[in-house]
Amino acid sequence: MFRYTEAGTDWWEDNTLGIQHIYPALGIGLESAPKLIEVARNTIDVMQRWDDHNGDNSFFPAAAYVGYKPEVIYEKLHEYIAHHYRPNGLRARQGHGTEKLSTIPNTVNMMLCSAHEGVMRLYPAWPMDQDARFGNLRQFGAFLVASELKGGVVQYVSVLSEKGRDLTLVSPWPDQNVTLTRDGKPAKTLSGERFTIETTPEEKLMLRPAT
């Protein structure tokens, strides 16, 4: 686990500084060394700051960013909403102003799509038995991403490249060929666990399983 010191203080009792090198610093993610990811997940497991007065807005997305147990994040997020929010979507309790408004959207975004060290992943911390769909989710590299998960299968990935940077994507279909379409025109077939695609400014890519 990560601690403040080897002997003495492990973590402060009323904030989540012990995981903030994961989020918001983004120093550890799914492209990190496997041992670092393991230690990060262990720390999430032990700290359990899902309802922290001063830091749940960083604890939830940190858990998602390192791919911590998706079903646990999903369950804890529901509990968090039920405890802290009114039916109209407003917070039921005072505290910490607008920073608390980031907890839910940041966490859901991280669960649906995230990027670390220039590598994008779809549904890295989303329970695969829960259908989901999103559009125009902004990602590092000036990409707008859309996708749908249905019946445990990713249906498509759509990416608008605003600046024409290379896109490196972990394939949602690692055991299948993938059809790439550029601006509505068939381009090529891709394969493998991940691939890097050159893009041009304002180009729209569509990826689907070839079957």
Q: Are residues 83 and 142 in the same domain?
A: no
Q: Are residues 86 and 153 in the same domain?
A: no
Q: What is the domain extent for residue 100?
A: 1-111
What string of H, E and C letters represents the secondary structure of 155-188?
Answer: EEEEEEECCCCCEEEECCCCCCCEEEEECCEEEE
Average pLDDT, stretch 132-145? 97
The reported pLDDT for the residue numbered 96 is: 66
Q: Could you tell me the pTM of the whole model?
A: 0.92
- Dihedral angle of Cα 45, 133, 171, 159, to the nearest 10 degrees: -120
User: pLDDT confidence of 95, banded at 50, 70, 90?
Assistant: low
- Per residue in 49-61, pLDDT (tens digit) is 998 877 889 999 9
Examine residue 121 and state whether it is found in any structural domain, yes or no.
no
Among 51-65, 136-150, 177-191, the minimum mean pLDDT is found in 51-65
Q: Are residues 104 and 141 in the same domain?
A: no
CATH number of the structural domain spanning residue 165 = 2.60.40.1180
Examine residue 5 and state whether it is found in any structural domain, yes or no.
yes
User: pLDDT confidence of 204, banded at 50, 70, 90?
Assistant: very high
What residues form DSSP beta bridges with 186?
181
Q: What angle do CA 8, 12, 13 make, to 5 degrees?
A: 115
Mean pLDDT of the chain: 93
The reported pLDDT for the residue numbered 74 is: 98
C-beta of residue 166 within 8 angstroms of C-beta of residue 198: yes
